[in-house]
Structure 1
Amino acid sequence: MNKNPQKTQQHFTSLLIQDPFKDQMEPMIAEDGTSYDNHPLTKMKRLHWWLFVALNIVFLLVGQAAAVLLGRFYYDKGGNSKWMATLVQTAAFPVFLIPYFLIPSSEKSPGVSNSPSLLMVSLIYLILGVVIAGDNMLYSVGLLYLSASTYSLICAMQLAFSAIFSLFINHQKFTVLILNSVVVLTISASFLAVNDTSEEPSGVSEGKYVLGVLTTLGASALYSLLLSLMQLSFEKVLKKETFSVVLEMQIYTSFVATCVSIIGLFASGEWRTLAGEMDGFQAGRVSYAMTLVWTAIAWQICSVGVVGLIFVVSSLFSNVISTVSLAVTPIASIIIFHDKSNGVKILAMLLSFWGLATYIYQNYLDDQELRSKKYDSDTRNDSS
């Protein structure tokens, strides 16, 4: 889930929130020396920059929440194809071709080392695309057997998994606040795991409920691993994080994931049931088609927000906003689908907000530390 799948690398070194600049944004310099100051988006006036950030936040929050709710609507009204639910999560990826071709990317700076071979890059995109397809399938199974609110609350565990994978793969520090976030989110997911299944979609047995919890936890863990592997790819192989490279990662991995989903749809035989599924859809044939179309569009709207926030702020900020959506979706689900909200679910929701808050606060402290170091460095340079 945030799943923004579209899937971004986690904890890439940058500021959590950029300073609103005096007249225009300061040039952004990557660790490899790549300069972003030639890109048109970095020359925005302060107001325009904030509007662009706000627009992408709306895209991410609304897109992800709408996609989850539409996915639950698809299952509630008679949809049953897990591979179709997996396919729509990446099928609308061609929308990224529009900004890819229309918005020029900054050129590679002279100090950047040679680009990796085409074979190496293709292998990375292939592996990550297959992992994304598998991750999307796990999410589809989880949403089939859980209510949208329970599903979203369990997905918030991705922050805890991200902290663990980032520690071992990306060598991120593991502070007391991060540990608190991991423990609190784990307790929240544990409460939901033992929750009364009567709160879940009708016809879901205890065994299927447990399967839904386990697959959603597995999907959250796999997504977090994916984020760390993406960051590792950017740092060790691609060695840059320009607008075009971020979009290429999104486009090619989504293309591979879409191909895998189509193969799975036909190999499983589920394609034979789609006509009957459409005819038996409680809201009608047109509604069936529109549900799938708008689910695909919603996921890509979410992805547009993810990529936009990565480019103009940071991947860390993008991931945090994505997780905020996971905390907001249960509220929307209770309002729209009238999901039952017992004491266990309310407690789990409060714990999720607590875990999220401590996680964000730790990143705020990290941001302040980065700012302080940068200020001290600039001061020393000026004095010298």
Structure 2
Amino acid sequence: MLHLCTDNQELILIKDDVTNQLPFLKLKRWQWWVLVAVNIFFLVAGQSAAVLLGRFYYDQGGNSKWLATLVQTAAFPVLFIPLFFLPSSQEASSSSRYPSFIILVVVYFVLGIILAGDNMLYSVGLLYLSASTYSLICASQLAFNAVFSYFINSQKFTALIFNSVVVLSLSAALIAVNEDSDTPSAVSRWRYTIGFICTLAASAIYSLLLSLMQLAFQKVLKSESFGVVLEVQIYTSLVASGVAIVGLFASGEWKSLGGEMEAFGKGRLSYVMTIVWTALSWQVCSVGVVGLVYVVSSLFSNVISTVSLAVTPVASVIFLHDKMNGVKVIAMLMAIWGFATYIYQNYLDDSKVRKLQSDVTESHDDHS
């Protein structure tokens, strides 16, 4: 997110900063918000569906953590379809600005490895937690991301952002101390604790990943094409999928997949469809995440992820019959409040940046 400069001596530099850091400001305001809204829909709908399907997989007899990790990235080939109709990143960027092949390989490999480890932690967390509890704990990622964004992306802190971080952190803390937290069948309190720790750790790593991704867009890729967003998602998912496949075979879990399909509670067809739709849902979610990191910022993308807190817990009560006790209701309301305060802060920042850009443009025209 752009830092606002009020010093008159820096005014002449703002036009270049706005162009480099917020390329989508060339769009009309309503067009920019439509683009943001589309990515928000992808993220919320994809994440909510993926979490519910992942919990359904475990409830019906699925037990492979590596398969659950693999499906979070395995559907990346479908992204080649929209990528085919977009200009390549080389065409969208000048040859002097576009990074070398070696640098791209390093960036995609590092991000892919981090993504694979993060997905495994999320898989373990969802195995031992209900869908609603899992989703509410994931809200803690905002607090982690605020710290990473401050040090890595020079994210500006305001009172509203601080309020959002504190409220969402307290929301997750309520779930942690809730003695009446519902757990899946045959899950002990010890495994519930493991699930909580894994989900919390995954949220921290996910926040770091988003900040590193934003840094890569700003410092390495330097592209204004949405095609580069898809390329980042495709190649990091390729690396993460490769790691998951290696883990699946190295752990020996692949040997049990046939029996797992036969014993699946809703039948073989349901097993296959659950895996397929889970993979597609995670890919839709990932496009929304990366899109928001590119269009706005990593912190904004992370905050939008908490919107699912208003969707997933309610949906899990309806479809998976999770319990919704008073503590969960309070935690969900706090999460929604934290999300709303950050959205308002982003609206204020957007208004200031656009007004500043207008002033700079007028000043430039006057001196032309």
Matches within 5 A, 1:102-141: 102-105=85-88, 107-108=91-92, 113-141=96-124
Q: Cα–Cα, structure 1 residues 319 and 183, in superposed 2: closer, same or farther, change >3 Å?
A: closer
Matches within 5 A, 1:308-347: 313-315=295-297, 318-347=301-330
Match of residue 278 from structure 1:
261
Show structure 2 runs of 5+ residues with no match. 4-17
Match of residue 58 from structure 1:
41
What's the CA shift string for 1:320-339, capped at 9, x where partnerless?
43331243211111121121
SS of alignment partner, residue 20 of structure 2:
coil
SS of alignment partner, residue 99 of structure 2:
coil
Match of residue 31 from structure 1:
20
SS of alignment partner, residue 77 of structure 2:
helix
Contact persistence 1:139–1:216 (CA under 8 A): yes
Q: In 2, distance between residues paired with 1:141 and 1:332?
A: 21
Contact persistence 1:234–1:241 (CA under 8 A): no
Show structure 1 runs of 5+ residues with no match. 1-10, 15-28
Q: In structure 2, which of residues 45, 66, 82 is the aligned counterpart of residue 83 of structure 1? A: 66
Q: Cα–Cα, structure 1 residues 33 and 183, in superposed 2: closer, same or farther, change >3 Å?
A: closer
SS of alignment partner, residue 156 of structure 1:
helix
Contact persistence 2:92–2:224 (CA under 8 A): no
The count of residues paired between Structure 1 and Structure 2 equals 353
Q: What displacement does 1:125 show? A: 0.6
Contact persistence 2:22–2:296 (CA under 8 A): no
Q: In 1, distance between residues paired with 2:272 and 2:215?
A: 38
Aligned-residue Cα RMSD (Å) equals 2.9
Q: In 2, distance between residues paired with 1:301 and 1:174?
A: 30
Q: Cα–Cα, structure 1 residues 163 and 46, in superposed 2: closer, same or farther, change >3 Å?
A: closer
AA aligned opposite 1:169: I
Q: In 2, distance between residues paired with 1:246 and 1:334?
A: 34
AA aligned opposite 2:223: K
Q: Cα–Cα, structure 1 residues 182 and 75, in superposed 2: closer, same or farther, change >3 Å?
A: same
Q: What displacement does 1:272 show? A: 1.2
TM-score, normalised with respect to structure 2: 0.87
Q: In structure 1, which of residues 277, 290, 295 is the aligned counterpart of residue 273 of structure 2? A: 290
Q: In 2, distance between residues paired with 1:348 and 1:178?
A: 18
Q: In structure 2, which of residues 141, 144, 155 is the aligned counterpart of residue 161 of structure 1? A: 144
Q: In 2, distance between residues paired with 1:301 and 1:34?
A: 23
Q: What displacement does 1:198 show? A: 5.3
Q: Cα–Cα, structure 1 residues 160 and 327, in superposed 2: closer, same or farther, change >3 Å?
A: farther
TM-score, normalised with respect to structure 1: 0.83
Match of residue 13 from structure 2:
none
Q: In 2, distance between residues paired with 1:364 and 1:53?
A: 12
Match of residue 184 from structure 2:
201
Q: Percent identity?
A: 64
Q: In 2, distance between residues paired with 1:103 and 1:380?
A: 35
Q: Cα–Cα, structure 1 residues 195 and 130, in superposed 2: closer, same or farther, change >3 Å?
A: same
Contact persistence 1:33–1:109 (CA under 8 A): no
Q: Does 1:152 align with 2:135?
A: yes
Contact persistence 1:197–1:205 (CA under 8 A): no
Which structure carries more helix by proportion? 2
Q: What displacement does 1:354 show? A: 1.5
